[in-house]
Each structure stands twice: as structure tokens, then as C-alpha cells.
């Protein structure tokens, strides 16, 4: 029985929201590629493989409170193995400052695994949110001063 690619995306996002890094790793295909589609963030535009993603994301999530950032899917559209998800991201940094953003992510699903993620978001808003929370310039912060 074939797995519905939209269900795979829902399960992958659920694993991220729960910070279940073992499950995220199992759901990422061996040839996994994750690219933040931005021209202005350091490292953006350069695909991360599964191992790199599993190092970077826990560090980024650690900037948030114990719940972490949450991604709520508001729309899924699929054609064969490709799924486009519109989503709202929200959470609170450790200092209590809020974070919100809107996302459009493109997923390629092969079987029951995610092979490709291309993430589109308002990177300027993200940089300002991190700066407002006093995160810019701190060790482990994903953005340099001026993000």
C-alpha cells in the first residue's frame, strides 16, 4: 500500500514540532537535502544533508523555550511525490520574546521518507525577531549581527 505523501509531510512536521530528532532522522531519506531558499542568510541556498540538518536544527530549537517553535500546516497541495505546505510558525524564545513567521515549504516524498525540503520564509522578519530577543551575536545564534 502506497503512503500518501501529504501524510508523510504531516508526520515529519509533527516529529519536528515534538523535537523527536530520532524520528526526524528516520523519516529523512538517505539522499536527503534541505535548503533554506534565501539570498541573505549565511549558509542559505546551500543544501544540508541529513546529518547536517540533525546538528543544525536542535541548536536552533535550543534558542527557544522548552516547547520550541511550532509549525502549523494551514494548507497542503500535492502532485505525485511533491507536496507544498503553507504553514504558520510560532514560539517563544528563552527570554519570553515571541516568534512568528509564515512559511511555504516544498517537500519531495519518496515512499515514506522526505528526500527534499525547500523552505521559503520571511527571512528579514526572522532576523528582526532574533535580534529583538537579544539572540544576535550570541554563541550558537544562526545569524550574524545585521542578519
Q: Per this entry, what is the length of the chain?
A: 147
Count of Cβ atoms closer than 10 Å to residue 7 Cβ: 14
Q: State the pTM of this model.
A: 0.84
Instruction: Please determine, for residue 146, whether its predicted confidence score (pLDDT) is greater than 70.
Output: no
pLDDT band at 3 (very low <50, low <70, confident <90, very high): confident
Average pLDDT of span 97-118: 96
DSSP class of residue 4 equals P
CA atoms within 13 A on the CB side of 65: 12
Residue with cell 523552505: 119
Amino acid at each position: 500500500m502506497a503512503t500518501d505523501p501529504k501524510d508523510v509531510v504531516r508526520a515529519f512536521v509533527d516529529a519536528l514540532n515534538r523535537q523527536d530528532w530520532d524520528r526526524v532522522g528516520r523519516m529523512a531519506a538517505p539522499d536527503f537535502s534541505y535548503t533554506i531558499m534565501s539570498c541573505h542568510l549565511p549558509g542559505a541556498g546551500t543544501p544540508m544533508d541529513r546529518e547536517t540538518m540533525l546538528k543544525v536544527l536542535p541548536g536552533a530549537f535550543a534558542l527557544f523555550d522548552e516547547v520550541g517553535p511550532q509549525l502549523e500546516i494551514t494548507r497542503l497541495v500535492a502532485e505525485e511525490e511533491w507536496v507544498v505546505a503553507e504553514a504558520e510558525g510560532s514560539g517563544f524564545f528563552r527570554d519570553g520574546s515571541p516568534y512568528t513567521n509564515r512559511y511555504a515549504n516544498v517537500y519531495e516524498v519518496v515512499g515514506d521518507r522526505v528526500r527534499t525540503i525547500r523552505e521559503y520564509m520571511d527571512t528579514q522578519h526572522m532576523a528582526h525577531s532574533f535580534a529583538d530577543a537579544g539572540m544576535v551575536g550570541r554563541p550558537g545564534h544562526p545569524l550574524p549581527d545585521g542578519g
